[in-house]
Amino acid sequence: MPDVGLLTPGADLGPGSPVAVTDDVAVLRALLAAEAAWVRAQARCGVVPAAVASVVDRAVVTLAADDGAALALATEVARDATGGGNPVIPLVARLRAAVESGCGPAVDAGSSVADVVGAVHAGLTSQDVLDTALVLVLRDAGRAADAGLGRAVDAAAGLARRYRDLPALGRTLTQPAVPTTLGARCAGWLQAVAEARARLADATHALPLAFGGAAGTLAGTDALTPSDGPLRLVDAWAAELGLPVTPGPWHVTRFPVVRAAAALAEVCAALGTVAADVLVGARAEVGELREPAAPGRGASSAMAHKRNPVLSVLVRRSALAAPALASQVLASAGQAVDERPDGAWHAEWPALQQLARHAVASAHAAAELLDGLEVDTAAVARHLREQLGVDADVDTGAAATVVDRVLDRYAPVDGSAGSAPRGTAGR
């Protein structure tokens, strides 16, 4: 049965949502996109006529014409993937059948049916296609997360400015410490989220095309372009997909996905700190913070009086889940062997998919949380007075200076940082 995010609350099905950019339909479409781009690359290099690439493009559109068709195809492919150990093999069979049934225009232009069908997946291996598809999914997830992170950065900066000079009780090891300001705490959130955003942008923009053929030697690909070398065809494939190309294959040197996994996990960790602080501040006995209200949000199935801090709970959920998922990717990378992994590669797939989903979900939830976070300034002052015996006129050290430095780096008034598609934090 398909995974629609039933057990990942907050991963809704809307456009750009965590499920929509990471689910099995997204993976299926990325696989088809990789295969179609490979044939277009062959057309670019003169290996096949342009009419062949057009036929393949139309077949891809037909196979995944809408979400219903794509989901049905993904379900069939998943069922049949057991035989070959990966979904590419049954998907290629279906793509070739669709190409054959629709190859009339290319045949009319002078190509044989065998040549048209044979262009699909020619010279590739399953890992080339699946790794490239996962790169496309991770790239889309990075973009979706960045949108939420950008909002979170802006909101955290606004909170830091607004409460720059508001004295607040500092807490260390869960106990009352010296005074700080609420703005300094928010500036800490800003710095962590901005840094995580920058790392994610760097990692996802650098995700490269996967290539190598059966054993990393481009066997089969070289036969397609004997005059000018197989890497010209690889470069054309990368251009079609808008991906960089590494000097050599990374079938068993998994640095691209390891770095992406680390960046996705860092996003979850940075946002988890925000959520943890809000959850403490939202406790009834503390009462300094409140999540933004929304119809139906925070309801309890058993206690009608409750207003649960659901956004923070969901962000914390992802912060708790991410480390194990990232660890799975790293453990698998360390077990890759020979010229193609024997199971380690397979173990990365679900971990990467879930990690990407958690990063997007937590970014979206944190953006909404920080956008509407409510502060009870009277409660902030009361705790400072009760715990330390001081009022609002209190020495907060260099808290205001710290806030200003953080804002200058990550969210200057002119907007030159914090809103860019690619982060520049810490540089």
Structure tokens at 384: 């400072």
- CA-CA distance, 41 to 19, in Å (whole number)? 30
Instruction: Give how far Cα 224 sits from Cα of 35, 227, 247, Å.
Output: 16, 9, 20
Helix (H) or strand (E) holding 332: helix 310-333
Interatomic CA distance for residues 231 and 24, integer angstroms? 30
Residue 96 designated active-site: no
300 catalytic? Reply is: yes
Q: List beta partners, residue 374.
A: 290
Residues 132 and 241: their CA atoms lie apart, in Å, by 9
Rounded CA gap, 382 and 392, in Å? 9
Contact between 250 and 256 (Cβ < 8 Å): yes
How many other CB atoms sit within 10 Å of the CB of residue 198? 23
- Whether 168 and 180 have beta carbons less than 8 Å apart is answered as yes
The one catalytic residue in 112, 300, 327, 416 is: 300
Please tell me the distance from the alpha carbon of residue 369 to that of residue 34, in angstroms, as a whole number. 37
Cβ atoms of 205 and 212 within 8 Å: the answer is: no
The Cα-based distances of 279 to 29, 178, 291, 309 in angstroms read 38, 21, 9, 7
Local structure of residue 56 (DSSP, 8 states): H
Total residues belonging to the chain: 427
CA distance 42 to 33: 14
The Cα 31–Cα 38 span in angstroms is 11
Catalytic member of 96, 340, 357, 409? 340
Q: Return the C-alpha torsion angle 323, 325, 331, 333, nearest 10.
A: -120
Cα separation, 142 vs 21, in Å, equals 10
Name the residues annotated as catalytic: 300, 340
